[in-house]
Structure 1
Amino acid sequence: MWIYRFTLSLLLSWCLLAPATLMAMTVTFLNPGKSDEVYWVTASNCMMTAARNLGVQLEVIYAERDHLKTLELARQIAARPLNARPDYVILSNDYAVGAEALRILDGAHIKTFFSYSSFSDAGEREKVGAPRQLYKGWLGGLEPRAEDAGYLTASALIQRGRAEKLTGADGKLHMLAIAGDRSTTTSYKRNEGMRKAVAEDKNVILDQVIYGDWNRAKAQEQSAWLYQRYPHTRLIWTGNDLMAFGAMESWRARGGKPGRDAFFSAINTSAEAFTALESGSLSALAGGHFIAGAFSLVMLYDYHHGKDFIDEGLELDRSMFILFTPEESRRFQSLFGAQNFDKLDFRKFSKVLHPAIKKYDFSFRQLLNQAEVRK
């Protein structure tokens, strides 16, 4: 009899614990970047911390900046047995592959959420419509306000150029821009922010915009002939840190000294970028937006547990970027320099876990402050 009671007790205990395991929320992140690319690895690592905080099973798969691979990965996920499919897939519309990936995943009844980059092109938007309409499983999205990054860095660059009196013979400041790519929403919006800063100052001329595909080597090659074409230009705006490094290398190759006779801006939070900012070779650096994926997990966690984000909107475009000072650069490296985000607790941002929260706050500076407190 005691064996029966003991077995029954074990069974009841297992039943009480099992639902947490059996019903664990599962998410796959189709990371569009490379598995050795600092920004996208940082984004994934931060998401891993949020997943641990929230008890979410997170799978990260890198597309290695191959848009065709993104679609192949989507097909592979859709072809998995039902019990092996994730509850949600987080993806980015880099290189305009989002519409086709969405079609594939929605056809397999897998819920999707766009993070980092969604749909801005009118043709794409006509194909996909709005979340939860044509594609019922497309829940929504969260994008960093990419215009902020372009505007903040370009404004700081222009201010530096004015302080250094770098005007040409025509009395104008001249700028070159090395943008990301022609099709990704993030790239387009960063360019918009940069152009806004230029338009606000009538003494600035944007000599040319080229596209470096986020690539260091390509930006190095392109900038070499740009410097020949525009020998009097001294302000170089770039859409990410890798392209800034490439442009700085080609400037050095011609005998120049970044931060002294030409001024560069960048976006992202790599250790190399912070080192360049502190040394002065980089004059403006914006970043912090890698947290978009982690906050996307918070939103999906709340949705999964009965608190829909629809009251704030289905496609959120929120401020996340900050323009780093050298002091903030040092703080960031001290807190997160080893790609360790364990000082952060993303449970604090969940509406399910903290019902008093009425509106999500996605700012990066609050995370810096939270980590500093827990240091």
Structure 2
Amino acid sequence: MALGGAWLAAFSSTEVGSVAHAAAQPGPVRVAVFSPEGPGDPFWARSIDFMEAAARDLGLTLEVHFADGTARTMAGNAERIMTGPTPPDYVLFPATDRIGPSILDIAEREGINAVLLNTTISEDQRDRIKGPRAIYTRWLGGIIADDLLGGYLLARNMFRHAQRRWITAPSGRIEVIGLTHSAADKAALDRIDGLKLASEEYYLGDIAYLGLANGSKAKAHQVIELGYESHPGATLYWSTDDMMALGMMESLTDRTRRLPGTDAIIGGFYWSPWALQAVLDGRISFLMGGHFMTGGAALVMIHDHARGVDFKPMGMEQRFGFGMLHAGNIKQLAPILAQRDWSWVDFKRFSRALHPERGDYGFSASAFLRARKP
């Protein structure tokens, strides 16, 4: 089942540039989304598709402003829109490359509510500006993927899989070779902390080697060779993204006698079409992802806030749970993830304004994938 061509063809139809998309059924509340990437970026293209479906379902007007891969351009778009003649009611953006406080400054000055998406304020910046609704009263909060839990669950499932199949080093221990895309990015650091937590919890687990490959498949191919040359007994190959997981897979196939999916277990993050295909083929065993859906969750929070049901009691900074793809669910979920139409998702189901009986939001990839409209 080849996914790459159809998925990439769907992305290529999006016009490049800084553009705006309006929801099909606009409501009185206008939300401007600022993307740091262009419309051809796979992650952001999927994120926008999901947000547009959420906006239509919730009756919000969504305007999307793409950048060129730089935080500076994104910040310029934010200033232009927020200081323009028809500013939005809410802005939604990631605090990429430490740009968050600059955009929050503008939102505060212009009286526009701001919600952070996927990337939050760095710890050193937080020391200065504190948290949401403190110095910046218009900074309502945000939602980010639970990277610590995601890293932990990925590693824990890999350990358990190895133990069940007796895929161990000659010593009987389960050695992990890990790769990270960044030594400074908070998401990467949290995922690594999750790996360490699982290794400490699992009495047979050892992190034998942890390398830096900058999210590059080619770099991962090179770096991983150093890992398994010094630790030939390693059987688990854990990565903070999918491109590096694919690099691990290719390197193992080219340079060792280990067969990915048989006597080498590979796991990573992000649901790219190439990585999904590798899970379908059985070469990648576990793949965390679904955090492109966080924008839909953020719009539910904004919808409720605009209706007078504040999400503050539930937590101003919500965590989004990753989903996990594996041999047991990939055939069912791959066709769903390969399409762009999310109109079947019942976003209203998550609204506390529409469903006061709800406890917490419970945002996760799995929850959205189960939320089919009646």
Match 1:66 to one of 60, 66, 70: 70
The structural deviation recorded for 1:255 is 5.0
Quickly say closer, same or farther: Cα 1:40–1:126, change in 2 above 3 A.
same
Quickly say closer, same or farther: Cα 1:63–1:188, change in 2 above 3 A.
farther
Quickly say closer, same or farther: Cα 1:326–1:234, change in 2 above 3 A.
closer
Counterpart in the other structure of 2:348: 347
Amino acid in the other structure paired with 2:295: G
The structural deviation recorded for 1:309 is 1.3
Counterpart in the other structure of 1:214: 215
Q: Is 1:273 the equivalent of 2:275?
A: yes
Match 1:81 to one of 81, 84, 90: 84
SS at match of 2:203: coil
The structural deviation recorded for 1:65 is 4.5
Amino acid in the other structure paired with 1:219: A
Match 2:45 to one of 37, 41, 58: 41
Contact persistence 1:116–1:186 (CA under 8 A) = no
Contact persistence 2:94–2:119 (CA under 8 A) = yes
Quickly say closer, same or farther: Cα 1:357–1:172, change in 2 above 3 A.
closer
Counterpart in the other structure of 2:189: 188
Counterpart in the other structure of 1:290: 292
Match 2:302 to one of 300, 303, 306: 300
| Partner Cα separation in structure 2 for residue 22 and residue 92 of structure 1 | 24
| Partner Cα separation in structure 2 for residue 164 and residue 50 of structure 1 | 42
The structural deviation recorded for 1:327 is 4.1
| Partner Cα separation in structure 1 for residue 147 and residue 267 of structure 2 | 15
| Partner Cα separation in structure 2 for residue 227 and residue 181 of structure 1 | 20
Contact persistence 1:94–1:183 (CA under 8 A) = no
SS at match of 1:360: coil
Q: Deviations over 1:12-66 (max 9, x none)?
A: xxxxxxxxx9972222222345643433322221111001112222223344543
| Partner Cα separation in structure 1 for residue 255 and residue 296 of structure 2 | 42
Counterpart in the other structure of 1:363: 364
Quickly say closer, same or farther: Cα 1:219–1:30, change in 2 above 3 A.
farther
Give me the identity figure in percent: 27
The structural deviation recorded for 1:135 is 0.8
Quickly say closer, same or farther: Cα 1:97–1:231, change in 2 above 3 A.
farther
| Partner Cα separation in structure 2 for residue 333 and residue 183 of structure 1 | 32
From the two aligned structures, give the one with the greater helix fraction: 1
Contact persistence 2:27–2:61 (CA under 8 A) = no
Quickly say closer, same or farther: Cα 1:33–1:147, change in 2 above 3 A.
farther
Counterpart in the other structure of 2:5: none
| Partner Cα separation in structure 2 for residue 335 and residue 96 of structure 1 | 34
Per mean C-alpha deviation after superposition, the further-off stretch among 213-222 and 46-55 is 213-222
Quickly say closer, same or farther: Cα 1:96–1:114, change in 2 above 3 A.
same
Counterpart in the other structure of 1:147: 148
Amino acid in the other structure paired with 1:158: F
The structural deviation recorded for 1:218 is 3.5
Counterpart in the other structure of 1:157: 158
Contact persistence 1:198–1:206 (CA under 8 A) = yes
Contact persistence 1:42–1:290 (CA under 8 A) = yes
Q: Deviations over 1:142-190 (max 9, x none)?
A: 2222222111111122223333434335543221211232333322222
Quickly say closer, same or farther: Cα 1:345–1:106, change in 2 above 3 A.
same
Query: Runs of 5+ in structure 1 lacking a partner?
Result: 1-20
Amino acid in the other structure paired with 1:57: T
Counterpart in the other structure of 2:335: 334
The structural deviation recorded for 1:308 is 1.4
Contact persistence 2:75–2:99 (CA under 8 A) = yes
Q: Is 1:53 the equivalent of 2:53?
A: no
| Partner Cα separation in structure 1 for residue 355 and residue 225 of structure 2 | 53
Counterpart in the other structure of 1:25: 29
Question: Which protein shows a greater Rg?
Answer: 1
Quickly say closer, same or farther: Cα 1:147–1:355, change in 2 above 3 A.
same
| Partner Cα separation in structure 1 for residue 225 and residue 72 of structure 2 | 31
| Partner Cα separation in structure 2 for residue 36 and residue 222 of structure 1 | 29
Amino acid in the other structure paired with 2:84: P
SS at match of 1:343: coil
| Partner Cα separation in structure 1 for residue 47 and residue 218 of structure 2 | 23
Counterpart in the other structure of 2:126: 125
Quickly say closer, same or farther: Cα 1:202–1:356, change in 2 above 3 A.
closer
TM-score under structure 2 length normalisation:
0.83
Per mean C-alpha deviation after superposition, the further-off stretch among 185-194 and 169-178 is 169-178
TM-score under structure 1 length normalisation:
0.83
SS at match of 1:307: coil
Quickly say closer, same or farther: Cα 1:359–1:205, change in 2 above 3 A.
closer
Contact persistence 1:118–1:143 (CA under 8 A) = yes
Quickly say closer, same or farther: Cα 1:135–1:211, change in 2 above 3 A.
farther
Counterpart in the other structure of 2:252: 251
RMSD across aligned positions (CA): 2.7
Equivalent residues, number: 349
Amino acid in the other structure paired with 2:64: V
Quickly say closer, same or farther: Cα 1:81–1:370, change in 2 above 3 A.
closer
Query: Runs of 5+ in structure 2 lacking a partner?
Result: 1-24
